[in-house]
Each structure stands twice: as structure tokens, then as C-alpha cells.
Amino acid sequence: MTIYKAHNFIFVTLFLIAMLAFQNATAIDLPLLGGKPKLNVEFSGNSYENLLRPLIEDLLKKNYLDRKNADFELSTGKSARIDKEAIEKLLRSEGFYSAKIKYEIIEDEAYFNIEPDEPYLIKNASIESSLENLPSVEDMELKKGERFRAEGLLNAISSIKKHIEKHHCLWEISVDYDATINHSDKAARIVINVEGSNVADFGSISFEGNDTIKESYLLPKIGFKEGGCFKRSEIEKARLNLFETGLVSGVETTLQKNSDNIVDVKFDITERKHKTVKLGGGVSSDEGGILSAGWEHRNIFGKAWKLQSDAKISELYRTANTELFIPSFLSPKQTLNLSAEISEENLEAFNSVGISMSAGLERKISKHLTGSIGSRLNITRVDEDGNGQEETFGLLSFPLAFTYDRRDNILDSKKGWSVNAEIAPFIDTLDTGTGFVKTTVGASAYHTFERAKFKPTFALRGAVGSINGQNTDDIPIAERFFAGGGGSVRGYGFQKLGPLDVDIPTGGRSFTEMSLESRLRFTQKWGGVVFLDAGNAYDDITPDFDEGVRWAYGAGVRYYTDFAPLRFDMAFPLERREGIDDGFQFYISIGQAF
């Protein structure tokens, strides 16, 4: 009982630390960065404090760190004068042109008093140009009556340039502005001047530096053709397309316009190394040690065909697989995937040896949406009861999947969300009476509070699954759903959630999983996590919540590398089952939990 209370005390303490990240401070204290000076900021008058305090605090922190990293010291008075000028510039950029800033030095600390006054508003904004089909200022950040912000003006100019580059075939584009500030009525009048000349077309397209990449593969990636309307936006899009092949590390473009307004384009490419040897590993209390190794060649035949072989070894399983990816298969947006795998599993639920072969076609439907369809043959010999009585299955499946992914980073997501769904009908080729349909749906979402202390990221994940068409006992155990473990519900043993035969997992026909994390960033390299996991597997084809959901909580440490964070988590089960669940589980691996 004492241990249980201690675990709860740890969890509540970490949770309170996470919540403290959102409390506003009245002063910027930097004890972990050297301690002095301590910069204090107060607001007076019609203050607009909620708007301006985070901006000013970020500015003062940056100035302090810049001076510290430059390895020279200034007097507090000199530093305060520099900071005062920076604050004045910041306030003007936010539309506060009549702000008053005072400071005083007390016991080697700078105290700032800021009276922003009322912000200057946009009274009129217009675009003057001989070009047609230009965006309206009302569609940008220059609406009448809004605060006149430098960022809004620069964003408007950038939007106009991008619009022209996308919709006009012009070699020369000029966008500038005139801004008139009227202090008597605290107003701004803006005129954006847009000019363009020399309508042009694309000429020849050539490449340099592609020593091992065939030009016949690169040309379709460019997206424009000789004789087409010259648009600068197409050049940048082509560069991004070349980077997305994964074969190049640098792309420089040279544009040459002749007297007939024909623009020749040359892409100077720097190739990446196309071969990689991979070594990895991890440790967890339920799966033991995990070792992995792999080899990858990303440019077979000079056409970006990718061949990769991987092997994994742990106390519970051994696998080896080889995959071949053929891009632009029948369409620039499609990739053909051929794979083969051999595996051996020694689990509490069953022992198995198998070989599988699959072929799949993946299509990029839009920027964020991907779909795939394929077929897979999995021949497996299974010993379910551990008594040496083996059964062989020859499962043929036809998976159809969709993924919508708006995450900013797969290994360390800070914002965005993703949804994935897969449905796969199965037929046992060795037993025509066995057939079922397996469906899974998953989603995750992320949001980071950049201005809060420790920049907390809140991450949420959920998943559900169902198998329809057979009773549980008639479904091969290797295809049933299990829950529990590092990639499922932390705090419980691997596959230990769901139906049990005494204390041996038997799997089910449905499952649910949920995870909630608060990820904190203490320094550039170190961070922490508190989390809550829940889930279970069920015998019915839909989750039976009368059987309950198992909960667990925990905390972890993150060490951030240039590639991905290293993860160490400890998790504790709630309502621990006697003789089945351990007091805690720990996990060490690369990348966030989800």
C-alpha cells in the first residue's frame, strides 16, 4: 500500500510541474543560465500586457543569451539601454508607435516600466499595379481597422510575390510599399506597388552532378516542360521534388534568359550517399533486449529503386525481411512494394515459425493523404498451447489502407495530427472454411505551447480494432488482437491485456488503446514526460467495456539527438492483478512513444 501511495505522489508531483509551465511570471529569472542580470518588466496605463509580455520576455531572454554566448560582459546600465532600444523597435513593429519605456537600475538589476499607449490602426491599404488577377488586401493581414504590424505588411508582400510567381509568366517582378504614419490620429496608410515585365517561357532543362542518377528518372520530377509558361514557383516546386526523392542533398538552379524571353534551366545536383548500414537496439522489462541491423541501397539501377534488408533479435522473436520499393510505378505518384520475411516467435500466448510474401501499391493521393492496396501470403506453423501440437495456416490477405498525416515530424511530433485506417479480408488457403475481416483505425494529435515554460507538448493517441467473420477460437492466434507493452499500454506486460487462460494471453477479436502525454523540454538536450495509458483486448468483435479498461501511468526522460530523441520510460499499472502484473515496467528506445 505504501508503494502504491508513493507512485501516486510521484505522478501528482510531475503533473503539477507540467501545469506550472503555464503560469505567467512577473519577472524573467535565469538562474540556470548564469543567474544575473534579473530582468523585471512592469506595465502601466492601457497596458495590452497579455499581448506584449510574452513577446518582450522572449526578446529579453534572447538578448541575454546572445550576450552570454558572445563571451563578453556589459554593465547592467549598458545592457539595459540596449534592451530598451530593442523593446522600442519591437513595440513599433507591433503597431505601438507612441509607447513610453522607462528603466532604472536597483542593486544591479534592471527594472523596466512600459506604457504602450493605444496601437496605430490601418486606415487604408491598397495595391497599385498594371497587372490583373492580383489578390485583395482584404484577403491578407492589412484589413482596415486592424493593428498595423510590420509582420503583417511583410507577409502581405510575400503573399503577393508568391501569387504573381504562381499565376503570371513574368521574368521580372517588383513589389515594394509606401507606408505613411499619422501620429495625430494614430493611423497608417499603406500603398503596395507591384510591377512586372518580360513574359517568358521555359527553354531547355539540363542537369549536372547526377553521376549515378539517370536523367530519365529526374525529368518527370521537375513538373514543367520545355515551351511551358515560365513561373518562378515551378522552379522552387521542382527543387522540392528533387529533395523528396531522398537521393540528393543539394540542388542549385541557374536560369539563363535569351533575347526571345526563353529561359533555360540548369539544376546542379549534389548526390547523397545511397547506401546505409543500420544498427540499433532497445531494452524493456517485458521484452528484454532488442538488437536490430539493416542494410539499405536507395538508388538501384540509377532510378531510385530502394532495396533494404533488416533483421531483429529479441528474447521473444527473431525476424529477417527484405523489401524492394519501385517508385513511379505506372504513375509518378505510385510506388510498388515487394517484400519477403521469415520469422520465429516464442511468446507466452503461442510459438510460431513463418514465412510471408507480399506485394503492394501505394499512391500519394494528395499532399497529406496516402492510400495503398496489396496482397500478402503468410504461411505459419503455430503451437498455441505449448504442448507440441502444431497447426499450419496459409493465410492470404488483401489489405486496403489510408493514411492522412499532418504531423511535422514522425519521430518527434510537436504539432499536427494523423489518422490511419486499414481493412483486410483473410482467407486460409489450407482450410477453405476459414475466412475473416480485420479492421483497425488509429489517430494521434499534437500541440505545443511554444511560449509557455518548458514548451510543453500535449500528445494524444487512440486506436481500435475488430475482427469479424469467425469465432475467436477459429481465428489463428497470430492474427488475434493483443494489448499491453511498450507500443500499446505501458505498465503492463507484453500482450498481457485481454482474454487469459489462467495467466496465458489468448487474444481477442477487438481492442482499444489510448495514450495521453505531456512532454516538457527543460534544455536543448533534455526533456521529460508524464503520461497516462489505457486499453484492453476483448473476446467480442466490438470492445466490451463491461470487461473494463486497464489504466497505467508513468513518467520518462528524453535525451534529444540530431536524429531523434532517446526515450526512457517507467510505467505503473493501476489495479494491479495479483500474479499477472509486475509493479512496474521500463522501456528504453529511440523516438517518442507515438
pTM flag (> 0.85) = no
User: pLDDT per residue over 545-560, tens digit each?
Assistant: 888 899 999 999 999 9
Average pLDDT over residues 66-82: 79
Looking at residue 453, its pLDDT comes to: 87
* Helix (H) / strand (E) containing 159: helix 150-167
Whether 374 contacts 361, CB under 8 Å: yes
Angle CA 136–141–144, to nearest 5: 75
Whether residues 142 and 260 fall in one domain: no
Residue 478 lies in a domain: yes
Mean pLDDT of the chain: 88
Pick from 37-51, 335-349, 391-405, 464-478: least confident? 37-51
C-alpha to C-alpha distance for 506 and 482, rounded to whole angstroms: 8
User: Is the alpha carbon torsion for 433, 338, 407, 536 positive or negative?
Assistant: positive
Looking at residue 34, its pLDDT comes to: 43
User: pLDDT per residue over 227-267, tens digit each?
Assistant: 999 998 899 999 999 998 989 999 999 999 988 899 999 99
| Boundaries of domain holding 86 | 36-115
C-alpha to C-alpha distance for 178 and 164, rounded to whole angstroms: 20
What amino acid occupies position 555?
A
Higher-confidence position of 68 and 327: 327
C-alpha to C-alpha distance for 520 and 525, rounded to whole angstroms: 11
Output the nine-digit C-alpha cell for 338.
Answer: 515487394
C-alpha to C-alpha distance for 549 and 495, rounded to whole angstroms: 14
Domain-ending residue, one of 198, 217, 248: 198
Looking at residue 286, its pLDDT comes to: 79
Whether residues 392 and 255 fall in one domain: no
Q: Alpha helix locations (H) across 27-149?
A: 49-69, 76-93
Looking at residue 384, its pLDDT comes to: 82
Looking at residue 249, its pLDDT comes to: 93
Whether 422 contacts 399, CB under 8 Å: yes
Looking at residue 71, its pLDDT comes to: 67
Place of cell 510471408: 356
SS (H, E, C) 466-514: EEECCCHHHCCHHHCECECCCCCCCCCCCCCECCEECCEECCECEEEEE
The contacts of residue 241 (CB under 8 Å, 6+ apart) are 221, 222, 223
Pick from 62-66, 241-245, 400-404, 436-440: least confident? 62-66
Q: How many CA atoms lie within 13 A of 5 on its CB side?
A: 2
Looking at residue 573, its pLDDT comes to: 95
Whether residues 453 and 441 fall in one domain: yes
Higher-confidence position of 420 and 129: 420
Whether 39 contacts 112, CB under 8 Å: yes
Whether residues 487 and 404 fall in one domain: yes
Average pLDDT over residues 530-555: 93
Whether 391 contacts 381, CB under 8 Å: yes
Looking at residue 72, its pLDDT comes to: 64
Domain-ending residue, one of 198, 222, 249: 198
C-alpha to C-alpha distance for 490 and 281, rounded to whole angstroms: 18
Sheet holding 187-199, edge to edge: 121-129, 187-199, 170-182
Average pLDDT over residues 192-207: 91
Whether residues 414 and 544 fall in one domain: yes
12 phi, psi to nearest 5 deg? -65, -40
Looking at residue 386, its pLDDT comes to: 65
Q: Give the chain's end-to-end CA distance (angstroms, integer).
A: 32
**pLDDT class for 368, splitting at 50, 70, 90?**
very high
**pLDDT class for 389, splitting at 50, 70, 90?**
confident
Looking at residue 318, its pLDDT comes to: 95
C-alpha to C-alpha distance for 120 and 115, rounded to whole angstroms: 14
C-alpha to C-alpha distance for 294 and 306, rounded to whole angstroms: 13
* Helix (H) / strand (E) containing 572: strand 565-573
Whether residues 422 and 515 fall in one domain: yes
Instruction: Dump strand ranges (E) for 161-261.
Output: 170-182, 187-199, 201-208, 248-257
Whether residues 265 and 280 fall in one domain: no
C-alpha to C-alpha distance for 501 and 298, rounded to whole angstroms: 47
**pLDDT class for 139, splitting at 50, 70, 90?**
confident
Got the DSSP string for 233-272?
Answer: HHHHHHHHHHHHTTSEEEEEEEEEE-TTSEEEEEEEEEEP
Higher-confidence position of 115 and 138: 115
Average pLDDT over residues 44-48: 79
Look at residue 24 and tell me whether its pLDDT is greater than 80: no
* CATH number of the domain enclosing 303: 2.40.160.50
Output the nine-digit C-alpha cell for 391.
Answer: 497447426
Average pLDDT over residues 328-356: 93
Looking at residue 65, its pLDDT comes to: 83
Looking at residue 3, its pLDDT comes to: 38
Whether residues 399 and 484 fall in one domain: yes
Looking at residue 501, its pLDDT comes to: 87
To the nearest whole percent, how much of the chain has pLDDT over 70?
Answer: 92
Residue 547 lies in a domain: yes
Residue 3 lies in a domain: no
> Can you list the pairs that 151-156 forms with residues at least 24 positions away whose Cβ atoms lie under 8 Å?
151/93, 153/177, 153/179, 153/190, 156/192
Distance of CA 64 to the CA centre of its chain: 31
* CATH number of the domain enclosing 91: 3.10.20
User: Is the alpha carbon torsion for 286, 289, 293, 298 positive or negative?
Assistant: positive
Count of Cβ atoms closer than 10 Å to residue 60 Cβ = 23
The total of structural domains in the chain comes to 4
Higher-confidence position of 139 and 510: 510
For 405, the 3-state DSSP assignment is strand
Looking at residue 22, its pLDDT comes to: 44
Residue 233 lies in a domain: yes
Whether residues 189 and 204 fall in one domain: no
Which phi-psi region, left, alpha or beta, contains residue 475 (left: φ > 0; alpha: ψ -120 to 50)? beta
Which phi-psi region, left, alpha or beta, contains residue 288 (left: φ > 0; alpha: ψ -120 to 50)? left
Average pLDDT over residues 406-427: 94
DSSP 397: E
C-alpha to C-alpha distance for 407 and 447, rounded to whole angstroms: 10
Place of cell 500500500: 1
Whether residues 394 and 383 fall in one domain: yes
Count of Cβ atoms closer than 10 Å to residue 489 Cβ = 29
To the nearest whole percent, how much of the chain has pLDDT over 90?
Answer: 61
The contacts of residue 577 (CB under 8 Å, 6+ apart) are none
* CATH number of the domain enclosing 153: 3.10.20.310
Determine the number of helices (DSSP H) and then strands (DSSP E) in the chain: 6, 29
Strand-pair partners of 365: none
Average pLDDT over residues 87-108: 91
Burial of 420 per CB tally in 10 Å (0-12, 13-18, 19+): middle
Looking at residue 227, its pLDDT comes to: 92
Count of Cβ atoms closer than 10 Å to residue 413 Cβ = 23
Residue 2 lies in a domain: no
User: pLDDT per residue over 160-196, tens digit each?
Assistant: 988 888 888 898 888 999 999 999 999 999 999 998 8
Looking at residue 21, its pLDDT comes to: 45
Look at residue 1 and tell me whether its pLDDT is greater than 50: no
Q: In this structure, are strands 526-538 and 201-208 parallel, antiparallel, or unpaired?
A: unpaired
Looking at residue 264, its pLDDT comes to: 95
Average pLDDT over residues 295-316: 94
Whether residues 160 and 43 fall in one domain: no
Whether residues 193 and 331 fall in one domain: no
Which phi-psi region, left, alpha or beta, contains residue 437 (left: φ > 0; alpha: ψ -120 to 50)? beta
Domain-ending residue, one of 271, 298, 318: 271
Residue 9 lies in a domain: no
Residue 17 lies in a domain: no
Look at residue 491 and tell me whether its pLDDT is greater than 80: yes
Residue 6 lies in a domain: no
